[in-house]
Structure 1
Amino acid sequence: MMDIRKLKTLDEKVQAQKISMLAFVVPIDMEKEAERLRQLPESSEEYGVERWGAFLPDGQLTAGLMNYHYTITFDGHEVLCSGIGNVSSRPENRRKGAVRGMFDAMLRDMRENGFVFSYLYPFSHRYYRKFGYELCEQPLRQWAKCEDFAHLPCELSVTMQEKDEGFSDMQALSHTFMKRYNLAVLRRENQWAFLMGDPYQKRQLRYLFRDQQGVLQAYVCFEPKEENGVRRAEIRDMAYSGKEALFAIFSFMSRLSAQYEEVGGCLPPDIDLRWLVTEPYRVRQERSCGGMGRIVNVETALSLMKAPFHPGHAILQVTDDFLPENSGCYRLDFEKGHMKSVTRTEEEPDLCCTIQDLTRLVLGVASPEQLFLSPTLTVKKNRDMLLRLFPQKMLHMNQPF
């Protein structure tokens, strides 16, 4: 029988990285990697990451994964969400339950420690659906000609951030900005690392936009990319205080037309570049399958969910085969946009669904009319009320892991 637990020693973590290297076919200098791991804080609370492993009876590590701890936005609340990465196993020991065992132990540990959601980027959606995950965000990648934003006004002062000056202002603006979305990560300081550092070495360019009083109104982080001979400024992150600040960002990007032909990337979901440019025909858009999410604690997620303004109630029958603690029939009583109570009940349900269906409904992944078409979801009664209970919302997973 396999021993499933969190990794404790440096040697265990190094072994896990070796397994990851084999699984993802990525070369790693193990001496440098061991030194990097040695310098990380031991406390997952301090650094925000745990490593899990599956050990064979002889003590050999045969599989591992990483569980990043994030605080994300959900319907105006701040909740804990795990970001799962580096799921990997030794090829000679696959299909023996190692990954399933890690997810089983980890999800229960998450429930005990207050996590509400979990998220990952799958190699196969079918595979991770076995563990209760479902396709959530479907990011829209957009590209437009830099010169097509030249008509937009920029009435803010613009400076390039060369070191970390103004970082606290960026973090504060980001937190305020991201709360309009679901799934957006409210980054702790070390979770900004992929955007920060010397712009001349890392080619991560950051520009700050301030008003006459020196108050930060917007920022944009981008990096140079080239594909098929086309030079692009790919936006990695951005935040802005309002429409004028958004215009300032893209007006500034138009000044870079001598360096880059196009600007874009996976932008916040309420930005449609076709409405900002002079020639919409030149905007290219492509929607893709993004990450998968799942609810870890159904009762908590339902209690935090926004609700219709007018008083009412709904009965939901939920099936979670992988985490049966979530399975059951829930009565939701609500009024004035908030949940009054979420309780277990034996009443006849209005809607029957799987944990995968419920995750998408609660997060607002798509319109309820679309989500109700799921083969594993049945609306039994009170359809109009359910349509009001589960509106489509804006999702923006802004953190790679």
Structure 2
Amino acid sequence: MKDKNEEHTYLEINGSFKMRELDKSDLEQFNALLQYAFQVTTYDLFQTGWKQEEIKYAKRPILEEAYVLGWFYGEKLASMIVVYSMKINIYDEIMDMGGITGVATYPEYTGKGLIHSLMKHALNYIHEQEMPISFLYPYSIPFYRKMGWEIVSDKLSFTVKDTQLPKTRPVGGMVERVSLDSEDYHNVHSYFALQRHGCLIRDNLSWEEYWRWDNDDMIAAVYYNKEHKPLGYVVYYIANDIFHIKEMVYLNIEANYGLWNYISAHFSMIEQVQGDNYSGEPMAYLFEDSEITETISPYIMARIVNVRAFLEDYPYQIQPEDFKLHFKVHDEMAHWNEGDYMVSWHDGETICEQVADNQSINVVELDINTLTTMLMGYKRPSYLYEHEKLNTEYYMLTWLERLIPVEKPYFSDYF
């Protein structure tokens, strides 16, 4: 973020519209556009315990730590975009990630291509910062698909009646309620994130965004084993006879049982449990009474920003030294990705080179959307081939299925 005393540098000018990076002096306009676009009123925030000064400065860390671009009409902020510098677990490989959020425009300025140009500049920034992949929460899936982002994870919302709650299972430890800034609670997520493909590695800013706008009734409860080692947690609140789970994480099955024992102990206080599951796998099978309600919806989108870097760092399941694979990639939004990438392996290392586009064997032709969702494990190569999302010889599917790890991304954050 620029210092407010620096001279403004405009990245693009279009008539009366000028694009520049936001600074601290833009905080009031930044907050106003966010609240307008995402329909969060000051009254709503007062209702959840926020004070006027807290509302004013709540988003200040973003302006200090993130890259924020905006179109100004004269001196008025008309449209903006925010890029967080984050880290993500890709099959145990920790990669830098550009998290896009705060995409907003006042209605009187829509239809002028402001967001499209901001997205292009944001992509360029992410590429220049050597972040090979970007994530975002979509307000319109078709809109972001046109720019190369694709669905990579789902949210499974579930409802469990009080009569369907699991019976108590014997465990060696116990659950303790802790403060929301508990080190044990945060450490469990850190360990979990290092184990789960697709999980965000939360830093301080990520934790602030995780809790922003939540009500004061939120509770964190940690499961400790008999050695008092934290192995799981559930974050929740109770309202209108419903136990609402914001997040539930466990490092082993003992912690899973212990947390459900704790939830079931609220039997006399509640009529049902509601929550979201981000594992990509339905939960019904695990309940004795499996007739729980589960609904699935797409959640997060991602796009590879630097194909060569991503293919080179990607943790393939096998590394066949006598085999060369060609990805012929189409990417209209990020021109630097367009081309043929030859991937090979030698002495346990992956080599990726951009080569002349005239290969005829071991070629997989696809757009950036399909490449992203396939390598992230959300959709398998055979599925994508059957639905004509990629073009290749049939024998190549066996290679792709062997190369790409089998695990769906787990992404539960919102930013």
Per the shorter chain, which TM-score range?
Answer: 0.7 to 0.9
Return the offset for 1:146: 4.5
Contact kept in structure 1, 2:31 and 2:56, CA below 8 Å: no
Structure 1 pair 398/316, CA: closer, same or farther in 2 (3 Å)? Answer: same
Return the offset for 1:240: 2.0
Contact kept in structure 2, 1:73 and 1:182, CA below 8 Å: yes
Contact kept in structure 1, 2:27 and 2:63, CA below 8 Å: no
Residues 256-296 of structure 1: per-residue CA shift (max 9 Å, x gap):
11122223422241764323322112x11111122221111
Q: TM-score, normalised by structure 2?
A: 0.84
Give secondary structure in 2 for the equivalent of 1:288: strand
Q: Are 2:334 and 1:323 aligned? A: yes
Give secondary structure in 2 for the equivalent of 1:396: coil
Structure 1 pair 78/310, CA: closer, same or farther in 2 (3 Å)? Answer: closer
Q: Are 2:37 and 1:27 aligned? A: no
More deviation, 353-362/369-378: 369-378
Question: Residue 294 of structure 2 corresponds to which residue in structure 1?
Answer: 285
Q: Give the percent of matched residue pairs that are identical in Structure 1 and Structure 2.
A: 20
Q: Are 2:228 and 1:214 aligned? A: yes
Give secondary structure in 2 for the equivalent of 1:139: strand
Question: Residue 259 of structure 2 corresponds to which residue in structure 1?
Answer: 249
Residues 76-135 of structure 1: per-residue CA shift (max 9 Å, x gap):
111222222221112222222211111111111111112122122222211111221112
Q: What amino acid sits opposite 1:334 in the alignment? A: W
Contact kept in structure 2, 1:83 and 1:118, CA below 8 Å: yes
Residues 126-175 of structure 1: per-residue CA shift (max 9 Å, x gap):
111122111221222222234531242232122111463xx223222212
Q: Are 2:393 and 1:383 aligned? A: no
Q: Aligned match of 2:178 in 161, 164, 173?
A: 161
Partner Cα separation in structure 1 for residue 255 and residue 58 of structure 2:
40
Structure 1, unaligned runs of 5 or more: none
Q: How do 1:69-108 residues align onto structure 2 when only pairs under 5 Å count? A: 69-108=85-124
Return the offset for 1:374: 4.5
Aligned residue-pair number:
385
Contact kept in structure 2, 1:160 and 1:208, CA below 8 Å: yes
Return the offset for 1:314: 1.2
Residues 47-72 of structure 1: per-residue CA shift (max 9 Å, x gap):
xx33220134x454321122233211
Q: How do 1:2-401 residues align onto structure 2 when only pairs under 5 Å count? A: 2-10=17-25, 12-28=26-42, 32=53, 35-36=56-57, 40=61, 43-44=64-65, 49-56=66-73, 58-147=74-163, 148-162=165-179, 164=181, 167-193=182-208, 202-226=216-240, 231-269=241-279, 272-281=282-291, 283-309=292-318, 311=320, 312-334=323-345, 340-346=350-356, 347-348=359-360, 350-380=363-393, 382-401=396-415
Partner Cα separation in structure 2 for residue 362 and residue 218 of structure 1:
29
Partner Cα separation in structure 1 for residue 272 and residue 153 of structure 2:
24
Give secondary structure in 1 for the equivalent of 2:132: strand
Partner Cα separation in structure 2 for residue 221 and residue 357 of structure 1:
34
Residues 191-212 of structure 1: per-residue CA shift (max 9 Å, x gap):
3246669x9x711111111122
Q: TM-score, normalised by structure 1?
A: 0.86
Structure 1 pair 207/384, CA: closer, same or farther in 2 (3 Å)? Answer: same
Contact kept in structure 2, 1:293 and 1:359, CA below 8 Å: yes
Partner Cα separation in structure 2 for residue 193 and residue 9 of structure 1:
18
Return the offset for 1:344: 1.1
Give secondary structure in 2 for the equivalent of 1:43: helix
Structure 2, unaligned runs of 5 or more: 1-13, 44-50
Residues 313-370 of structure 1: per-residue CA shift (max 9 Å, x gap):
311000110011111111111379x652111122335211111111101111122222
Partner Cα separation in structure 2 for residue 400 and residue 98 of structure 1:
24
Give secondary structure in 1 for the equivalent of 2:127: helix
Give secondary structure in 2 for the equivalent of 1:329: strand
Partner Cα separation in structure 2 for residue 209 and residue 221 of structure 1:
12
Contact kept in structure 1, 2:153 and 2:278, CA below 8 Å: no
Over the aligned positions, Cα root-mean-square deviation in angstroms equals 2.7
